[in-house]
Amino acid sequence: MTLLRDADLATAFDHAAQSYDTLVAANPGYHAHLRRSARRLGLPRPGTGLRVLDLGCGTGASTAALCAALPGAGITAVDASAGMLQRAAAKPWPANVRFVCAPAEGLAEAGVEGPFDAVFAAYLFRNVSDPDAVLSTVHGLLAPHGRLAVHEYTLSGRPAHRAVWTAVCRGLVLPVATALGDGELYRHLWRSVVDFDTVDAFADRLRVHGFDQVRALPLPGWQTGITHTVVGRRAGTTARAAR
């Protein structure tokens, strides 16, 4: 199948926004894994005075994870889907959270400017047309001590993990999504994982784009070998992150 990109993908997410939270809530560990990845940024709690960019915030699950990890930080949450962002913004948030509708490739045009102390990107990079360009943008938005955490379905490369991912999508996710009228989006989401980097390849991609201290960290449960947190630091600087 042809993957959805850019405006077509944003439109598909707009349509799926009403049922999205219900579907992800059925995924064991979904919110706990996001909170774990947010903590893996390694920034000192409560994060007072820090600026954090939540890139690809969807309906706000990643934003909530950042609020839990860094309640004192200023959080700018961005998504290309107006429908998903509307669902996110309708939830109760502290005053230090703001939402911006923009594609990851168009942050400057939307007034999203650095420097940020950290960027958190959940389920984003496999869905953009040019992940290398977005990584370059992220690198440029980070302060000299800046941290990046990517929470993503990045397969280990082992056939067993690819088989589990496909079985879950075909046996559970796709039938429900199709019944809700969102089959095209979720077929894209299944295929986007299969076609994207393995976790080791994605970690190497970060290194190429000027990140050091890159680590790929697994997540527990059925997503072991399927979902990872890949963390890195803007290279050539002294990190301000907590140790």
As a whole number of angstroms, the distance between CA 125 and CA 190 comes to 14
pLDDT in tens for each of the 243 residues of the chain?
A: 689 999 999 999 999 999 999 999 889 899 999 999 999 999 999 999 999 999 999 999 999 999 999 999 999 999 999 999 999 999 999 999 999 999 999 999 999 999 999 999 999 999 999 999 999 999 999 999 899 999 999 999 999 999 999 999 999 999 999 999 999 999 999 999 999 999 999 999 999 999 999 999 999 999 999 999 999 999 864 433 332
Sequence-separated (6 or more) residues with CB below 8 Å from residue 103: 6, 10, 80, 128
In angstroms, the Cα distances linking 145 to 35, 61, 122, 159 are: 22, 26, 21, 37
As a whole number of angstroms, the distance between CA 3 and CA 100 comes to 25
- Specify the pTM: 0.95
As a whole number of angstroms, the distance between CA 15 and CA 86 comes to 12
Kindly state the tokens that stand for 212: 């050091």
